[in-house]
């Protein structure tokens, strides 16, 4: 018999295959509600088994992803892949060419494969295809697009990273993009190496030590030499951990982007996989925290890989109870649900058989962060005396953020 871990991975692959197979079925054959009822129970069972034998993080994330696509969205009816025209149609084309393009657009519309667009537009949108071969590619792109980059999801409430309008260009633009991202990938590698070196001298990262424990003498002397001895240990350790994780996530995204954009530049990948606009920065600028406080950190500076997964349940709940989606109450509910589910997902990463590893304590870090964000919002809301969420003064964000987030650092 196979070991439990191997069975868990096979179970995870089977659940992913079921999700893929579900979206290969056209809506004319099986409506969305029936599709969810037919496939979700089996997908849930497989992912729960995978989690129980140790494939925790993958199982938890993919379970939420299946819920997002089958419970809270209707991709086959509303989603469209955004493509870029290799040769945009000129607005001054001859009449005969315009007539031919209109006929071609009408034919594609009738086949359900391409949405007719403004000839001046640089993009066209591909809805759920009628062709099985094209459907296979369309569904695969869907399942790897948790951030919905390169998709029109037919819903303004969906969150996607902004795409720069300066990326449209030729070979020179692509080369500049590659050079810049290779440089930043190298910078991230240096940051990772430096933080690993620091962790070698700090017992907090080696053995079970309190985060506010004093520095060892050699490390304290090193910090004092560079006039950093006044910094509290918990602040230094949190900063080092943040810099390391920030650099790791950024470098992985940069390396993948460089590979795909390079292959796209020589024609081995299409515009969706190999376009520069398909690989925006995964992490936001750390300086956002100065303007956005704790909400700016979690909402814009940190990666948003799971944002749609964590906020969709709250959006559905808010709509079901009739609360205006842009109201202060709706915002509070979204914060509570998002951080609650985030704690559950991250707690699932811990193995079951390690002494001293407490999933509840791990999850509580994210729950405390959610409570801190709520406290920041409520305090700012009270100080401003208005029901609308507007940009606050920088001093107010810093003051509120420091007062509220201090307990979260000690978790």
- pLDDT tens digit sequence for 118-149: 555 567 899 999 999 999 999 999 999 999 99
Please check whether residue 384 is in contact with residue 391, taking contact to mean a CB–CB distance below 8 angstroms.
Answer: no
Q: Find the helix or strand (DSSP H, E) in which 152 lies.
A: strand 151-152
Strand partners, 210: none
The whole-angstrom separation of Cα 83 and Cα 118 is 13
The 3-state DSSP class for residue 8 equals helix
Q: Name the average pLDDT for the chain.
A: 81
So what's the pLDDT on residue 97?
39
- For β-strands 151-152 and 80-84, DSSP reports them as antiparallel
Q: Could you tell me the two tokens for 168?
A: 């449209």
Separation CA 261–CA 276 (nearest Å): 6
Relative to beta strand 123-126, strand 80-84 is antiparallel
pLDDT in tens, 7-26: 888 999 999 999 999 999 99
Distance CA 161, CA 225 (A): 41
Average pLDDT over residues 162-184: 78
Token pair belonging to 182: 């290779």
Q: What is the mean pLDDT of residues 303-317?
A: 90
- Give pLDDT, residue 101: 40
**Residue range 25-43: average pLDDT?**
95
Separation CA 254–CA 185 (nearest Å)? 6
pLDDT of residue 285 exceeding 90, the answer is no
| Out of 83-87, 280-284, 361-365, least confident range | 83-87
| Distance separating alpha carbons of residues 233 and 307, to the nearest angstrom | 31
CA–CA distance, 360 with 279 (Å, rounded to integer):
35
Burial class of residue 10 (count of CB atoms within 10 Å of its CB; 0-12, 13-18, 19+): middle
Q: Which pLDDT score, from 0 to 100, does residue 227 have?
A: 87
For residues 354 and 357, give the distance between their C-alpha atoms in angstroms, rounded to a whole number.
6
């Amino acid at each position: 018999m196979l070991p439990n871990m191997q069975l868990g991975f096979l179970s995870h692959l089977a659940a992913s295959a079921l999700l893929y197979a579900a979206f290969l079925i056209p809506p004319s054959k099986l409506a969305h509600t029936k599709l969810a009822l037919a496939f979700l129970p089996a997908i849930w069972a497989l992912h729960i088994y995978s989690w129980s034998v140790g494939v925790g993080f993958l199982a938890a994330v993919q379970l939420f992803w299946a819920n997002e696509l089958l419970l809270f969205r209707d991709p086959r009816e509303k989603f469209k892949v955004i493509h870029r025209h290799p040769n945009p149609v000129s607005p001054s084309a001859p009449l005969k060419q315009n007539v031919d393009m209109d006929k071609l657009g009408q034919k594609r519309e009738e086949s359900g494969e391409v949405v007719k667009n403004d000839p001046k537009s640089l993009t066209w949108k591909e809805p759920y295809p009628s062709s099985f071969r094209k459907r296979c590619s369309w569904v695969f792109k869907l399942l790897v697009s948790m951030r919905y980059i390169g998709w029109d999801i037919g819903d303004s409430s969906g969150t996607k990273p902004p795409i720069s309008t300066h990326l449209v260009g030729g070979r020179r633009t692509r080369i500049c993009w590659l050079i810049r991202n290779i440089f930043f990938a190298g910078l991230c590698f240096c940051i990772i190496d430096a933080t690993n070196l620091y962790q070698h001298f700090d017992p907090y990262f080696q053995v079970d030590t309190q985060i506010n424990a004093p520095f060892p003498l050699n490390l304290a002397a090193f910090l004092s030499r560079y006039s950093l001895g006044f910094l509290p240990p918990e602040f230094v350790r949190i900063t080092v951990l943040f810099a390391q994780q920030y650099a790791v996530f950024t470098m992985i995204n940069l390396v993948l982007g460089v590979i795909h954009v390079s292959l796209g530049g020589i024609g081995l990948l299409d515009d969706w996989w190999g376009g520069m606009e398909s690989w925006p920065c995964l992490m936001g600028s750390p300086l956002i925290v100065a303007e956005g406080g704790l909400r700016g950190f979690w909402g814009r500076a940190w990666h948003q890989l799971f944002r749609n997964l964590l906020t969709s349940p709250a959006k559905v709940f808010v709509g079901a109870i009739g609360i205006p989606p842009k109201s202060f109450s709706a915002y509070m509910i979204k914060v509570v649900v998002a951080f609650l589910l985030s704690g559950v997902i991250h707690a699932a990463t811990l193995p079951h058989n390690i002494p001293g590893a407490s999933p509840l304590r791990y999850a509580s870090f994210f729950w405390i962060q959610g409570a801190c964000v709520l406290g920041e919002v409520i305090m700012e809301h009270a100080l401003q005396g208005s029901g609308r969420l507007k940009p606050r003064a920088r001093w107010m964000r810093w003051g509120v953020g420091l007062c509220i987030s201090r307990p979260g650092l000690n978790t």
